[in-house]
Amino acid sequence: MSRTPQQRLGRLGEDRALAHLEAHGLTLLERNFLCKSGEIDLIMLDGPMLVFVEVRRRASEKFGGAVYSVTPAKQQRLFRAAQYYLLRHKIPPPCRFDLVAIDAEKLSWIQNALEM
Model pTM? 0.87
Report pLDDT digits (tens) over 29-63: 999 999 998 999 999 999 999 999 999 887 656 66
| CATH code for residues 5-114 | 3.40.1350.10
3-state SS, residue 57:
strand
Task: Count CB neighbours of 44 within 10 A.
Answer: 20
